[in-house]
Amino acid sequence: MEIETTWDKWKKTLSRAVEAAEFAGMSEKTIDEIAYRLGDFLANKIDPGNREQKLLNELWAEAGENEKRVLASLIVRMVVDKDN
């Protein structure tokens, strides 16, 4: 399965998901855990839709568990950064 979307649209979608989680009262730790699980699902089940997603997929494939958790946390931080 492939998700076709632009990089900016993908980040905006993730940003909205994080905002919804924060609004629901989820902690940063919980959001990071969900991001890690989602990243694992996407890496294993979804074909990257653009070159940036392909890069993230390749990084995920090479990373160990702790590195994947850091990458997921960084992506969360990136999409909530209002300067994007």
Rounded Cα gap, residues 45 and 52, in angstroms: 17
How high is the pLDDT of residue 82? Answer: 63
Q: Are 19 and 79 in contact (CB under 8 A)?
A: no
**2 SS3 class:** strand
pLDDT at 83: 52
pLDDT, tens digit (0-9, with 9 covering 90-100), for 24-68: 999 999 999 999 999 999 999 988 888 999 999 999 999 999 999
Separation of alpha carbons 56 and 80, rounded Å: 18
Beta bridge partners of 2: 47
The whole model's pTM is what?
A: 0.84
